[in-house]
Amino acid sequence: MRIEREHTAALIVDFQERLVPVIADHEALMERVRILLRGLKALEIPMTVTQQYTKGLGMSVPEVWEASGETEYLDKISFSALEVAEPKIHDKKYILVCGMEAHCCVLQTVIDLAGAGYVPVLVTDCIGSRRESDREMAIRRAEQEGAVLTSSEAILFELLKEAGTPLSKEILKIVK
């Protein structure tokens, strides 16, 4: 099954000011997230930013806004992002998911996406938890629930589909 650009949207789940600093290896994670979001922007993949209980956890970190080019977010109190995001993704088949925490909001979003008939695509190098063991468990569970596992670079090239174009040159600059 090839993940096709025209049938794809992305959910950017809860990269918030009070969460990011406590996530394991958060600096490396945020570098991968910047690459993913810049690539998705170049590929014109629709992106939806969510925030869990903004009043308590703060706004999404500046890196998310800068890399994605998005200016709005959807606030949520349920752990899953599906309910608030569905109006924005309802016409897509493949939903890329990145975010935190992997074992809570990300995992529940993936489970709900699969249950609603979407194909959740978990970008495994763009998810994080406070403990690495929670992140690893979330990946295993997501796969059991039907998520397609990928990495930021792999999905960008899959969505790109071909080399030798101005867009492929732009993606190459982003991932290098």
Residues annotated as catalytic are: 14, 76, 105
Q: Identify which of 60, 48, 73, 150 has the alpha carbon closest to the alpha carbon of residue 100.
A: 60
Question: Burial of 50 by CB count in 10 Å (0-12 exposed, 13-18 middle, 19+ buried)?
Answer: buried
Collapse the DSSP code of 77 into the 3-class scheme (helix H, G, I; strand E, B; otherwise coil) and give the result: coil
At 1, list the tokens.
């099954």
Q: Identify which of 120, 128, 123 has the alpha carbon closest to the alpha carbon of residue 147.
A: 120
